[in-house]
């Protein structure tokens, strides 16, 4: 396989960030992660960041029309906010 060129190196760097974020969100990755009550919020937030990296840089959506970027970004925010709101009891699904 040839040497990695500039774009390849960028992809590898994004992958490295994903790995680091994964390890950080793992048990004890962030020492204590503060109060146990906020673990869910931190873990979901990190998951959203990782998903955004995969969408923008692996799926090439960074070069996609703004309508697509907008829909996917809005979906990420909505899912994160709604999941956490239900998790912490601010919202209920009857």
Partner 1 sequence: MQPLITDTKAPVTEPGSTRHYPGEGGVWVLLGGELLLFTICFFTFVYYRQFEPDVFAASRLTVNQGIGLANTLVLLTSSLFVALGVKRFRARDASASRLFQAALLCGGIFAALKAYEYYEKVSHGLTPLTNNFYMCYFAFTGMHLSHVFAGSIMLFLMARVAKRPKPTAAQSLFVECGALFWHLVDLLWIMLFALFYLAG
Does residue number 79 form part of the binding site for partner 1 (CB under 8 A)? yes
The dihedrals phi and psi of 45, each to the nearest 5 degrees, come to -60, -45
For the bound state, the minimum distance from the C-beta of residue 47 to partner 1, rounded and expressed in Å, comes to: 4
H helix intervals, 26-65: 39-53
The dihedrals phi and psi of 11, each to the nearest 5 degrees, come to -65, -40
Does residue number 74 form part of the binding site for partner 1 (CB under 8 A)? no
**In sequence order, what are the residues at sequence separation of 6 or more whose Cβ sits closer than 8 angstroms to the Cβ of residue 30?**
24, 42
Does residue number 90 form part of the binding site for partner 1 (CB under 8 A)? no
- Residues 3-42, interacting with partner 1 (CB under 8 A): 7-8, 11-12, 15, 18-19, 22, 25-27, 36, 39-40
What is the gyration radius of the CA atoms in the chain, in angstroms? Answer: 16
Distance of alpha carbon 32 from alpha carbon 59, whole angstroms: 34
Site for partner 1, rule CB under 8 A: 1-2, 7-8, 11-12, 15, 18-19, 22, 25-27, 36, 39-40, 43-44, 46-47, 50-51, 54-55, 57-61, 63-68, 71, 75, 79, 82-83, 86-87, 89, 92-93
């Amino acid at each position: 396989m040839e040497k990695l060129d500039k774009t390849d190196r960028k992809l590898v760097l994004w992958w490295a960030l994903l790995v680091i974020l994964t390890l950080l969100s793992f048990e004890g990755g962030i020492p204590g992660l503060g109060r146990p009550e906020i673990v869910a919020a931190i873990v979901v937030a990190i998951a959203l960041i990782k998903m955004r990296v995969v969408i923008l840089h692996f799926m090439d959506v960074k070069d996609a029309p703004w309508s697509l970027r907008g829909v996917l970004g809005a979906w990420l925010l909505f899912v994160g906010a709604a999941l956490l709101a239900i998790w912490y009891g601010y919202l209920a699904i009857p």
